[in-house]
Amino acid sequence: MTSEKDFIFSPIPLTTKQGSFEWSAPSNIALVKYWGKKENQIPANPSISFTLNNCKTITKLDFIQKANHDTFSFDLLFEGNPKEDFRPKIQKFLERIAIYCPYLKNYHLKIDTKNTFPHSSGIASSASGMAALSMNIMSLEKELNPAVTDEFFYQKASFLARLGSGSACRSVKGTVVVWGNHNEFEGSSDLFGVPFTDEIHPIFNNYQDTILLVDKGEKQVSSTVGHDLMHNHPFAEQRFLQAHHNLSAIKTVLGNGDVNRFIEIVESEALTLHAMMMTSMPYFILMKPNTLEIINKIWKFRKETNIPVCFTLDAGANVHILYPENVIVETLQFIKDELLGYCQNGQYLCDAIGFGSQKL
Ligand code: DP6
C-alpha cells in the first residue's frame, strides 16, 4: 500500500540549473461520478472515467535556479500572455504540493499553457490543466532524481494532479481510469488514479464523446462548493454506497460490452449527480432548459432507432453524448439535425476515448 509519505521527495543536491519540458494532458469524462470529498482531496467515493483524446491542455514549463528558496516564484502565461486570474489557483496548488516537491522553491518557473478547446467554452480545463502541469513537475523531479521509476512517475503525477483538482488525477495515464479505493479494483487508491487494466470489450474501442456546448457562462456554483455541500447531505451515505455498486456494475459491462446496461448506469450517474445538487442545502440547478431538451431528444432517438447513444453531464449544463464508433454516421447526423439548435451558437466538440498525457 502506498501512503502520502511515499511521495515526499528526499533531499538530494539539485544539480539541474535550468531546463524546460512540455506535456499535453487530456480532459476526461466520468462514467461514475466523484461528488463529495474529505480533507486533502480524498474522494468520498470511487469514480471511473473515459480519458478524452482531443480536448487537451498543453503546458510548457521553463525552470531556472534562483537564490532565494523560501517562496515560490513563477510567471503564468495563457497562450503566451500573462494571465493574472489563474495565478491564485496555481499559487494554492504549489503550496499544497510543497511538502512533496520542495525543490520547486529552488527554481523560478515559467508556466505557459493553452487548451485545444475554445477558452470559456464551459469545458472545465482544471482536469487537463492540473494534469499537464503535474506531468511537467514530475519531469523535473526525474531530472533531479533519475532513479524515479515509470510507475512512481505516473502515480506521483496523478497524486499531485489530484491535489490540484480531484478529477485531474484521472487525466494522467490510461484510457479508462479508476480513482478511489474499491475492493473489486486491484491497486485502486484514494491517492491517485490508476489505469483500468482488465480487458475491455471492443465495442468501447474509440468510443465517441460529442460535447454539446449548451451554456458557456460562468457556473453559479463551483465544483468545490458543490463537493462541500455533500457534508451533512441527507442522501450522502446512500449515494456513496451507490457509487460503489455502480463501479462494480460498470466493471462487468466494460468486460462484456452490454451497452444497454452501460447506458443505464451512465445516465443514472449523471442524473444522480445533479439530483445531489438539487437536494443540497443550499440547493442549486446547473442544468439549463436546453440540457433537458437534449436529454429528451436523445431518449426519443434511442427508442426509435435502437442506436445505443446516451448522455452524461459534468457539473454544468453541457451534455456529453457517448456512443460506439460503429454508429458515428447516424448519430452525428441526428446531432446536427436535432440537437445543435440547443447549443450556444451551435457549438459542439467531437472527441473520443484517448490514452492520457503525452510528452512533447
Ligand atoms: C462533476 O475535480 O472539478 O466532474 O476536486 O474540487 O477540483 P475539485 O473538483 P472537480 O470535480 C468534478 C466532479 C465532476 C464529476 C467527476 O469528474 O467525477
- Do residues 117 and 176 touch, judged by C-beta distance below 8 A? no
In which band, very low, low, confident or very high, does the pLDDT at 216 lie, cut at 50, 70 and 90?
confident
Residue 30 Cα to ligand 1 middle (Å): 9
Nearest CA to ligand 1 atom 3: 223
Compute, in degrees rounded to 10, the torsion defined by CA atoms 98, 104, 105, 106.
150
In which band, very low, low, confident or very high, does the pLDDT at 236 lie, cut at 50, 70 and 90?
very high
Residue 165 Cα to ligand 1 middle (Å): 7
Question: Does 126 contact ligand 1 (Cβ within 6 A)?
Answer: yes
Question: Does 243 contact ligand 1 (Cβ within 6 A)?
Answer: no
Tell me: pLDDT of 145 over 80: yes
pTM score of the predicted model:
0.96
Cis geometry, peptide bond prior to residue 308 (ω within 30 degrees of 0): no
pLDDT at 188: 98
Residue 86 Cα to ligand 1 middle (Å): 18
| 258-314 residue pLDDT tens | 999 999 999 999 999 999 999 999 999 999 999 999 999 999 999 999 999 999 999
User: Out of 7-16, 205-214, 228-237, which region has the weakest mean confidence (pLDDT)?
Assistant: 7-16
Query: Could you identify the atom of ligand 1 that is nearest to the CA of residue 130?
Result: 7
Q: Which residues contact 283 (CB under 8 A, 6 or more apart)?
A: 277
Question: Does 246 contact ligand 1 (Cβ within 6 A)?
Answer: no
| 333-350 residue pLDDT tens | 999 999 999 999 999 999
Nearest CA to ligand 1 atom 6: 224
Question: Does 266 contact ligand 1 (Cβ within 6 A)?
Answer: no
- Partners of 194 in beta bridges: 178
The span from the CA of 229 to the CA of 162, in Å, is 19
pLDDT at 119: 67
The span from the CA of 148 to the CA of 359, in Å, is 16
In which band, very low, low, confident or very high, does the pLDDT at 220 lie, cut at 50, 70 and 90?
confident
Residue 298 Cα to ligand 1 middle (Å): 25
Average pLDDT of the segment spanning 182-188: 97
| 72-113 residue pLDDT tens | 999 999 999 998 888 999 999 999 999 999 999 999 999 999
What share of the chain has pLDDT > 70, as a percent? 98
Instruction: Find the helix or strand (DSSP H, E) in which 50 lies.
Output: strand 47-65
Tell me: pLDDT of 124 over 80: no
pLDDT at 120: 61
Residue 210 Cα to ligand 1 middle (Å): 19
Question: Does 60 contact ligand 1 (Cβ within 6 A)?
Answer: no
Across the chain, what does the average pLDDT equal? 95
Tell me: pLDDT of 140 over 90: yes
In which band, very low, low, confident or very high, does the pLDDT at 121 lie, cut at 50, 70 and 90?
low
Nearest CA to ligand 1 atom 7: 165
Question: Does 222 contact ligand 1 (Cβ within 6 A)?
Answer: no
Question: Does 224 contact ligand 1 (Cβ within 6 A)?
Answer: yes
Query: Could you identify the atom of ligand 1 that is nearest to the CA of residue 127?
Result: 2
Nearest CA to ligand 1 atom 13: 34
Using CB atoms within 10 Å of the CB of residue 200, give its burial: 0 to 12 exposed, 13 to 18 middle, 19+ buried: middle
Average pLDDT of the segment spanning 115-119: 83
Only one residue has cell 512533447, namely 360
Residue 167 Cα to ligand 1 middle (Å): 5
Q: For 170-218, where are the alpha helices, taking DSSP H only?
A: none
Tell me: pLDDT of 118 over 80: no
The three-class DSSP label of residue 175 is: coil
